[in-house]
A and B are shown apart, each in its own frame.
Chain A
Protein backbone atom coordinates (compact mmCIF):
# COMPACT_ATOMS: atom_id res chain seq x y z
CA UNK A 1 0.00 0.00 0.00
CA UNK A 2 2.75 2.35 1.01
CA UNK A 3 4.69 1.42 -2.13
CA UNK A 4 1.63 2.03 -4.25
CA UNK A 5 1.16 5.58 -3.01
CA UNK A 6 4.89 6.23 -3.28
CA UNK A 7 4.77 5.12 -6.91
CA UNK A 8 1.80 7.34 -7.59
CA UNK A 9 3.54 10.33 -6.01
CA UNK A 10 6.77 9.70 -7.88
CA UNK A 11 4.86 9.27 -11.11
CA UNK A 12 3.18 12.64 -10.68
CA UNK A 13 6.38 14.32 -9.51
CA UNK A 14 8.56 13.08 -12.38
CA UNK A 15 5.90 14.02 -14.90
CA UNK A 16 5.95 17.53 -13.44
CA UNK A 17 9.72 17.65 -13.90
CA UNK A 18 9.27 16.63 -17.53
CA UNK A 19 6.58 19.26 -18.04
CA UNK A 20 8.94 21.91 -16.76
CA UNK A 21 11.48 20.83 -19.38
CA UNK A 22 8.95 21.02 -22.16
CA UNK A 23 7.67 24.38 -20.90
CA UNK A 24 11.16 25.84 -21.21
CA UNK A 25 11.11 24.84 -24.88
CA UNK A 26 8.15 27.09 -25.53
CA UNK A 27 10.42 30.09 -25.19
CA UNK A 28 13.20 28.76 -27.41
CA UNK A 29 13.54 29.60 -31.08
CA UNK A 30 12.16 26.88 -33.34
CA UNK A 31 14.62 24.43 -34.87
CA UNK A 32 12.42 23.52 -37.81
CA UNK A 33 12.29 25.30 -41.12
CA UNK A 34 9.34 25.78 -43.44
CA UNK A 35 11.02 23.97 -46.28
CA UNK A 36 9.81 25.27 -49.62
CA UNK A 37 9.94 28.85 -48.36
CA UNK A 38 13.08 28.68 -46.24
CA UNK A 39 16.02 26.64 -47.44
CA UNK A 40 19.03 25.13 -45.82
CA UNK A 41 22.43 26.27 -46.88
CA UNK A 42 23.98 23.16 -48.39
CA UNK A 43 27.64 22.68 -47.52
CA UNK A 44 30.30 22.79 -50.25
CA UNK A 45 30.88 19.45 -51.92
CA UNK A 46 27.40 18.18 -51.33
CA UNK A 47 26.38 15.16 -53.35
CA UNK A 48 23.21 15.67 -55.32
CA UNK A 49 22.36 15.35 -59.03
CA UNK A 50 25.14 14.45 -61.45
CA UNK A 51 26.18 16.73 -64.25
CA UNK A 52 28.55 16.12 -67.13
CA UNK A 53 30.34 18.82 -69.03
CA UNK A 54 30.24 17.43 -72.56
CA UNK A 55 33.13 19.56 -73.83
CA UNK A 56 35.66 17.85 -71.57
CA UNK A 57 34.65 14.20 -71.78
CA UNK A 58 37.26 12.01 -73.43
CA UNK A 59 35.15 8.86 -73.46
CA UNK A 60 37.38 6.78 -71.22
CA UNK A 61 34.52 4.68 -69.75
CA UNK A 62 36.03 4.84 -66.25
CA UNK A 63 32.83 6.15 -64.66
CA UNK A 64 30.69 3.52 -66.39
CA UNK A 65 33.00 0.78 -65.22
CA UNK A 66 33.14 1.78 -61.57
CA UNK A 67 29.45 2.54 -61.21
CA UNK A 68 28.06 -0.02 -58.72
CA UNK A 69 24.56 0.13 -60.20
CA UNK A 70 25.46 0.54 -63.90
CA UNK A 71 23.51 3.72 -64.41
CA UNK A 72 25.89 5.40 -66.87
CA UNK A 73 25.60 4.50 -70.55
CA UNK A 74 28.27 5.65 -72.97
CA UNK A 75 28.77 5.13 -76.70
CA UNK A 76 31.80 6.43 -78.47
CA UNK A 77 32.99 6.66 -82.06
CA UNK A 78 36.70 6.69 -82.73
CA UNK A 79 37.94 9.82 -84.38
CA UNK A 80 39.46 9.45 -87.82
CA UNK A 81 43.18 10.18 -88.11
CA UNK A 82 42.42 13.31 -90.06
CA UNK A 83 40.16 14.77 -87.39
CA UNK A 84 41.46 16.81 -84.50
CA UNK A 85 39.07 16.98 -81.59
CA UNK A 86 41.31 19.16 -79.49
CA UNK A 87 42.03 18.77 -75.84
CA UNK A 88 40.02 18.77 -72.66
CA UNK A 89 40.54 21.67 -70.27
CA UNK A 90 42.88 19.51 -68.19
CA UNK A 91 45.08 18.81 -71.21
CA UNK A 92 43.99 15.26 -71.96
CA UNK A 93 43.68 14.75 -75.71
CA UNK A 94 40.22 13.81 -76.93
CA UNK A 95 40.37 10.92 -79.38
CA UNK A 96 36.74 9.85 -79.45
CA UNK A 97 33.39 11.35 -80.21
CA UNK A 98 31.21 10.76 -77.16
CA UNK A 99 28.01 10.35 -79.10
CA UNK A 100 25.99 9.15 -76.18
CA UNK A 101 26.34 9.87 -72.47
CA UNK A 102 23.19 8.96 -70.57
CA UNK A 103 22.72 8.79 -66.83
CA UNK A 104 19.70 7.11 -65.30
CA UNK A 105 19.11 9.30 -62.29
CA UNK A 106 16.54 6.89 -60.87
CA UNK A 107 19.14 4.18 -60.69
CA UNK A 108 21.94 6.42 -59.44
CA UNK A 109 22.85 5.71 -55.83
CA UNK A 110 24.72 9.00 -55.32
CA UNK A 111 27.84 7.21 -54.15
CA UNK A 112 30.25 9.68 -55.75
CA UNK A 113 32.52 6.93 -57.11
CA UNK A 114 32.27 8.07 -60.73
CA UNK A 115 33.34 11.63 -60.07
CA UNK A 116 36.47 10.57 -58.21
CA UNK A 117 37.77 8.45 -61.09
CA UNK A 118 37.02 10.99 -63.82
CA UNK A 119 40.42 12.05 -65.25
CA UNK A 120 39.23 15.36 -66.66
CA UNK A 121 36.86 16.26 -63.83
CA UNK A 122 34.08 16.77 -66.33
CA UNK A 123 31.63 14.67 -64.31
CA UNK A 124 30.63 16.21 -61.03
CA UNK A 125 27.81 16.43 -58.55
CA UNK A 126 25.81 19.60 -58.33
CA UNK A 127 23.73 20.91 -55.47
CA UNK A 128 20.40 20.49 -57.24
CA UNK A 129 18.25 17.90 -55.55
CA UNK A 130 14.68 18.68 -56.51
CA UNK A 131 14.26 16.75 -59.72
CA UNK A 132 11.04 14.84 -59.48
CA UNK A 133 9.45 14.21 -62.84
CA UNK A 134 6.13 12.85 -63.95
CA UNK A 135 7.46 10.27 -66.38
CA UNK A 136 10.15 7.76 -65.68
CA UNK A 137 11.80 8.43 -69.00
CA UNK A 138 12.33 12.06 -68.04
CA UNK A 139 14.70 10.97 -65.31
CA UNK A 140 17.21 9.69 -67.84
CA UNK A 141 19.52 12.54 -68.56
CA UNK A 142 21.30 12.89 -71.88
CA UNK A 143 24.47 14.89 -71.76
CA UNK A 144 26.11 14.33 -75.12
CA UNK A 145 26.47 17.29 -77.47
CA UNK A 146 25.78 15.25 -80.60
CA UNK A 147 22.42 15.38 -82.24
CA UNK A 148 20.75 11.98 -82.14
CA UNK A 149 20.43 11.68 -85.91
CA UNK A 150 24.09 12.51 -86.35
CA UNK A 151 25.07 10.18 -83.53
CA UNK A 152 23.13 7.31 -85.02
CA UNK A 153 24.70 7.93 -88.38
CA UNK A 154 28.19 7.97 -86.89
CA UNK A 155 27.59 4.79 -84.93
CA UNK A 156 26.22 3.07 -88.01
CA UNK A 157 29.25 4.17 -90.01
CA UNK A 158 31.58 2.86 -87.37
CA UNK A 159 29.70 -0.43 -87.20
CA UNK A 160 29.91 -0.73 -90.98
CA UNK A 161 33.62 0.02 -90.91
CA UNK A 162 34.19 -2.54 -88.19
CA UNK A 163 32.16 -5.12 -90.10
CA UNK A 164 34.16 -4.38 -93.23
CA UNK A 165 37.43 -4.69 -91.32
CA UNK A 166 36.28 -7.95 -89.76
CA UNK A 167 35.24 -9.27 -93.14
CA UNK A 168 38.57 -8.28 -94.63
CA UNK A 169 40.35 -9.99 -91.75
CA UNK A 170 38.25 -13.12 -92.19
CA UNK A 171 38.99 -13.12 -95.89
CA UNK A 172 42.64 -12.70 -95.17
CA UNK A 173 42.54 -15.51 -92.61
CA UNK A 174 40.74 -17.69 -95.12
CA UNK A 175 43.28 -16.84 -97.78
CA UNK A 176 46.28 -17.22 -95.49
CA UNK A 177 46.32 -21.02 -94.96
CA UNK A 178 46.81 -21.53 -98.69
CA UNK A 179 50.03 -19.57 -98.62
CA UNK A 180 51.54 -20.35 -95.21
CA UNK A 181 49.61 -22.98 -93.31
CA UNK A 182 52.11 -23.09 -90.43
CA UNK A 183 52.18 -19.38 -89.74
CA UNK A 184 48.42 -18.98 -89.73
CA UNK A 185 47.89 -21.41 -86.87
CA UNK A 186 47.05 -19.39 -83.76
CA UNK A 187 49.32 -19.67 -80.77
CA UNK A 188 47.59 -21.81 -78.17
CA UNK A 189 46.77 -19.89 -75.08
Chain B
Protein backbone atom coordinates (compact mmCIF):
# COMPACT_ATOMS: atom_id res chain seq x y z
CA UNK B 1 0.00 0.00 0.00
CA UNK B 2 1.16 3.50 -0.65
CA UNK B 3 1.64 5.83 2.31
CA UNK B 4 -1.34 7.94 1.20
CA UNK B 5 -3.68 4.95 1.43
CA UNK B 6 -2.29 4.00 4.79
CA UNK B 7 -2.78 7.54 6.04
CA UNK B 8 -6.36 7.56 4.72
CA UNK B 9 -7.04 4.33 6.48
CA UNK B 10 -5.61 5.68 9.70
CA UNK B 11 -7.66 8.86 9.40
CA UNK B 12 -10.82 6.88 8.78
CA UNK B 13 -10.16 4.82 11.86
CA UNK B 14 -8.76 7.36 14.30
CA UNK B 15 -10.20 10.65 13.03
CA UNK B 16 -8.70 13.68 14.69
CA UNK B 17 -6.07 11.70 16.52
CA UNK B 18 -4.09 11.86 13.29
CA UNK B 19 -3.02 15.47 13.46
CA UNK B 20 -1.41 15.88 10.06
CA UNK B 21 0.16 13.90 7.25
CA UNK B 22 3.21 15.10 5.34
CA UNK B 23 2.90 13.26 2.07
CA UNK B 24 5.48 15.30 0.18
CA UNK B 25 8.28 14.42 2.57
CA UNK B 26 10.99 11.97 1.53
CA UNK B 27 9.61 9.50 4.04
CA UNK B 28 5.90 10.29 4.37
CA UNK B 29 5.13 10.70 8.03
CA UNK B 30 1.90 11.06 9.96
CA UNK B 31 1.79 13.10 13.12
CA UNK B 32 -0.20 11.42 15.83
CA UNK B 33 -1.57 12.67 19.12
CA UNK B 34 0.72 11.41 21.90
CA UNK B 35 -1.93 9.48 23.78
CA UNK B 36 -2.97 7.56 20.67
CA UNK B 37 0.48 6.22 19.77
CA UNK B 38 -0.06 2.77 21.18
CA UNK B 39 -3.50 2.34 19.60
CA UNK B 40 -2.27 3.51 16.20
CA UNK B 41 0.73 1.19 16.38
CA UNK B 42 -1.40 -1.73 17.43
CA UNK B 43 -3.73 -1.09 14.51
CA UNK B 44 -0.80 -0.77 12.13
CA UNK B 45 0.62 -4.04 13.36
CA UNK B 46 -2.55 -6.11 13.55
CA UNK B 47 -4.46 -5.00 10.47
CA UNK B 48 -4.11 -7.62 7.74
CA UNK B 49 -3.57 -5.08 4.96
CA UNK B 50 -0.95 -3.08 6.84
CA UNK B 51 0.81 -5.69 8.93
CA UNK B 52 3.85 -3.72 10.04
CA UNK B 53 5.72 -6.51 11.72
CA UNK B 54 8.99 -4.67 12.20
CA UNK B 55 9.75 -1.46 13.99
CA UNK B 56 12.86 -0.56 12.07
CA UNK B 57 13.81 2.60 13.86
CA UNK B 58 12.62 4.54 16.85
CA UNK B 59 14.28 7.85 17.31
CA UNK B 60 13.77 10.97 19.30
CA UNK B 61 14.65 14.47 18.27
CA UNK B 62 14.57 17.92 19.71
CA UNK B 63 12.79 20.75 17.96
CA UNK B 64 14.98 23.33 19.66
CA UNK B 65 15.52 24.79 23.10
CA UNK B 66 12.20 25.74 24.64
CA UNK B 67 10.19 23.80 22.09
CA UNK B 68 8.75 20.31 22.09
CA UNK B 69 10.51 17.00 21.89
CA UNK B 70 9.42 14.46 19.31
CA UNK B 71 9.65 10.74 18.73
CA UNK B 72 9.55 9.20 15.26
CA UNK B 73 8.76 5.56 14.49
CA UNK B 74 9.85 4.05 11.19
CA UNK B 75 7.82 0.93 10.52
CA UNK B 76 8.33 -1.71 7.88
CA UNK B 77 6.31 -4.70 6.78
CA UNK B 78 8.11 -7.81 5.58
CA UNK B 79 4.89 -9.26 4.26
CA UNK B 80 3.74 -6.34 2.12
CA UNK B 81 7.12 -4.60 1.86
CA UNK B 82 5.96 -1.09 2.55
CA UNK B 83 7.15 1.66 4.83
CA UNK B 84 5.35 4.08 7.04
CA UNK B 85 6.41 6.54 9.71
CA UNK B 86 4.52 8.14 12.52
CA UNK B 87 5.69 10.77 14.93
CA UNK B 88 4.43 12.28 18.12
CA UNK B 89 5.39 15.46 19.91
CA UNK B 90 5.54 15.72 23.67
CA UNK B 91 6.23 18.70 25.92
CA UNK B 92 9.71 19.26 27.17
CA UNK B 93 9.03 18.84 30.85
CA UNK B 94 7.30 15.67 31.95
CA UNK B 95 6.68 14.40 28.45
CA UNK B 96 5.52 10.83 28.29
CA UNK B 97 4.25 8.42 25.65
CA UNK B 98 2.60 5.01 25.80
CA UNK B 99 5.09 2.27 25.12
CA UNK B 100 5.11 0.07 22.04
CA UNK B 101 7.55 -2.42 23.50
CA UNK B 102 4.79 -4.96 23.93
CA UNK B 103 4.09 -4.86 20.20
CA UNK B 104 7.66 -4.94 18.97
CA UNK B 105 10.28 -6.35 21.25
CA UNK B 106 12.96 -4.27 19.53
CA UNK B 107 11.27 -1.09 20.66
CA UNK B 108 12.07 -1.83 24.27
CA UNK B 109 15.73 -0.95 24.01
CA UNK B 110 15.11 1.86 21.57
CA UNK B 111 12.69 3.43 24.03
CA UNK B 112 15.24 3.05 26.75
CA UNK B 113 17.71 4.88 24.55
CA UNK B 114 15.26 7.72 23.86
CA UNK B 115 14.57 7.94 27.58
CA UNK B 116 18.27 8.00 28.30
CA UNK B 117 19.16 10.71 25.83
CA UNK B 118 15.99 12.84 25.75
CA UNK B 119 14.20 12.17 29.00
CA UNK B 120 10.90 11.15 27.46
CA UNK B 121 9.17 8.60 29.66
CA UNK B 122 7.44 5.60 28.11
CA UNK B 123 4.52 4.41 30.23
CA UNK B 124 4.44 0.65 30.52
CA UNK B 125 7.94 -0.08 29.27
CA UNK B 126 8.99 -3.08 31.35
CA UNK B 127 12.54 -1.97 31.95
CA UNK B 128 12.88 1.79 31.64
CA UNK B 129 16.39 2.47 32.86
CA UNK B 130 19.23 4.45 31.41
CA UNK B 131 21.03 2.35 28.85
CA UNK B 132 24.03 4.17 27.40
CA UNK B 133 24.84 6.63 30.15
CA UNK B 134 25.49 5.51 33.71
CA UNK B 135 22.46 5.14 35.95
CA UNK B 136 23.27 8.20 38.03
CA UNK B 137 24.06 10.54 35.17
CA UNK B 138 22.42 13.95 35.34
CA UNK B 139 20.59 15.57 32.47
CA UNK B 140 19.46 14.41 29.06
CA UNK B 141 22.46 14.61 26.74
CA UNK B 142 20.84 14.96 23.35
CA UNK B 143 18.60 17.88 24.23
CA UNK B 144 19.66 21.10 22.61
CA UNK B 145 19.86 22.95 25.91
CA UNK B 146 21.87 20.26 27.66
CA UNK B 147 24.62 21.49 29.92
CA UNK B 148 27.06 18.85 30.94
CA UNK B 149 27.45 18.27 34.63
CA UNK B 150 30.58 19.58 36.23
CA UNK B 151 31.68 16.56 38.24
CA UNK B 152 30.74 12.88 38.12
CA UNK B 153 31.98 10.97 41.16
CA UNK B 154 34.82 13.39 41.51
CA UNK B 155 35.80 13.17 37.86
CA UNK B 156 35.78 16.41 35.94
CA UNK B 157 33.38 15.91 33.02
CA UNK B 158 33.64 18.82 30.55
CA UNK B 159 36.55 18.45 28.23
CA UNK B 160 39.06 21.18 28.72
CA UNK B 161 41.66 22.22 26.24
CA UNK B 162 44.49 21.71 28.62
CA UNK B 163 47.38 20.99 26.32
CA UNK B 164 48.27 24.64 26.23
CA UNK B 165 49.15 24.43 29.87
CA UNK B 166 51.88 21.90 29.32
CA UNK B 167 55.36 23.09 29.90
CA UNK B 168 56.89 22.10 26.74
CA UNK B 169 59.56 20.95 25.42
CA UNK B 170 62.65 21.87 26.94
CA UNK B 171 65.03 21.49 24.18
CA UNK B 172 64.65 17.96 23.06
CA UNK B 173 66.14 17.58 19.63
CA UNK B 174 65.20 13.92 19.20
CA UNK B 175 61.53 14.15 19.74
CA UNK B 176 60.24 13.22 16.33
CA UNK B 177 60.93 12.91 12.69
CA UNK B 178 60.35 16.50 11.84
CA UNK B 179 62.62 19.45 12.19
CA UNK B 180 60.85 21.70 14.60
CA UNK B 181 61.12 25.39 14.58
CA UNK B 182 60.06 26.08 18.13
CA UNK B 183 61.96 25.09 21.16
CA UNK B 184 59.54 26.77 23.52
CA UNK B 185 55.82 26.76 23.78
CA UNK B 186 53.93 29.69 22.45
CA UNK B 187 51.17 30.85 24.79
CA UNK B 188 47.70 31.25 23.37
CA UNK B 189 46.76 34.80 22.61
CA UNK B 190 43.71 34.11 20.55
CA UNK B 191 42.62 30.63 19.69
CA UNK B 192 41.20 29.86 16.32
CA UNK B 193 37.62 30.86 15.87
CA UNK B 194 36.09 27.43 15.72
CA UNK B 195 37.45 26.15 18.97
CA UNK B 196 36.31 29.23 20.83
CA UNK B 197 32.86 28.97 19.29
CA UNK B 198 32.43 25.34 20.25
CA UNK B 199 33.56 25.73 23.80
CA UNK B 200 30.90 28.37 24.28
CA UNK B 201 28.10 26.04 23.36
Indicate if A touches B (C-beta under 8 A). yes
Q: Which positions in A face B, CB cutoff 8 Å?
A: 49, 51, 54, 61, 64-65, 70, 72-75, 99-100, 102, 104, 126, 128, 131, 133, 135-138, 140-148, 151-152, 155-156, 159
A145 to B179: give the CA distance in the assembly, Å.
11
Number of A-B contacts defined by CB within 8 Å: 83
Contact assessment for A159 and B189 in the assembled complex, using a CB-CB cutoff below 8 Å: yes
User: Which residues of the other chain, B, contact A102 by a CB distance below 8 angstroms?
Assistant: 186
CB closest chain-A residue, reference B162: A136
Per the 8 Å Cβ criterion, residues 179-198 of B in contact with A are 180-195, 198
CB distance from B193 to the nearest CB of A (A): 7
List the 4 closest pairs (A to B, CB-CB), nearest first: A137-B166, A142-B182, A155-B189, A137-B168
The 8 Å CB contact of A143, one of B175, B181, B185, B194, is B181
Contact assessment for A145 and B181 in the assembled complex, using a CB-CB cutoff below 8 Å: yes
CB closest chain-B residue, reference A65: B194
Contact assessment for A49 and B177 in the assembled complex, using a CB-CB cutoff below 8 Å: yes
Q: Report if B167 contacts A (CB, 8 A).
A: yes
Contact of A61 with B185 at beta-carbon distance under 8 Å, contacts A49-B177, A137-B163, A137-B167 already known:
no
CB distance from A52 to the nearest CB of B (A): 9
User: Which residues of the other chain, B, contact A99 by a CB distance below 8 angstroms?
Assistant: 186
CB closest chain-A residue, reference B191: A73
User: Which residues of the other chain, A, contact B189 by a CB distance below 8 angstroms?
Assistant: 75, 152, 155-156, 159
Contact assessment for A148 and B176 in the assembled complex, using a CB-CB cutoff below 8 Å: no
What is the interface size of chain B, counting residues whose CB is below 8 A from a CB of the partner? 27
User: Which residues of the other chain, B, contact A137 by a CB distance below 8 angstroms?
Assistant: 163, 166-169, 185
Contact of A138 with B163 at beta-carbon distance under 8 Å, contacts A73-B191, A75-B189, A143-B181 already known:
no
User: Which residues of the other chain, A, contact B193 by a CB distance below 8 angstroms?
Assistant: 61, 65
The 8 Å CB contact of A142, one of B167, B172, B177, B186, is B186
Q: Report if B178 contacts A (CB, 8 A).
A: yes
Contact assessment for A144 and B163 in the assembled complex, using a CB-CB cutoff below 8 Å: no
CB distance from A153 to the nearest CB of B (A): 11
Contact assessment for A148 and B185 in the assembled complex, using a CB-CB cutoff below 8 Å: yes
A99 to B187: give the CA distance in the assembly, Å.
11
The 8 Å CB contact of A61, one of B175, B182, B183, B192, is B192
Contact assessment for A152 and B187 in the assembled complex, using a CB-CB cutoff below 8 Å: yes
User: Which residues of the other chain, A, contact B169 by a CB distance below 8 angstroms?
Assistant: 137-138
CB distance from A157 to the nearest CB of B (A): 11
Known contacts A131-B176, A138-B169, A144-B182; can you find 10 more A-B pairs with CB under 8 A? Answer: A61-B192, A70-B198, A75-B192, A133-B175, A137-B185, A140-B163, A148-B184, A148-B186, A155-B189, A156-B189
CB distance from B197 to the nearest CB of A (A): 10
Contact assessment for A73 and B181 in the assembled complex, using a CB-CB cutoff below 8 Å: no
A138 to B183: give the CA distance in the assembly, Å.
11
Contact assessment for B186 and A100 in the assembled complex, using a CB-CB cutoff below 8 Å: yes
Contact assessment for B194 and A144 in the assembled complex, using a CB-CB cutoff below 8 Å: no
Contact assessment for A138 and B172 in the assembled complex, using a CB-CB cutoff below 8 Å: yes
A159 to B186: give the CA distance in the assembly, Å.
16
Contact assessment for B175 and A138 in the assembled complex, using a CB-CB cutoff below 8 Å: yes
CB distance from B163 to the nearest CB of A (A): 6
User: Which residues of the other chain, B, contact A61 by a CB distance below 8 angstroms?
Assistant: 192-193
User: Which residues of the other chain, A, contact B182 by a CB distance below 8 angstroms?
Assistant: 142, 144, 147-148
The 8 Å CB contact of B181, one of A133, A136, A142, is A142
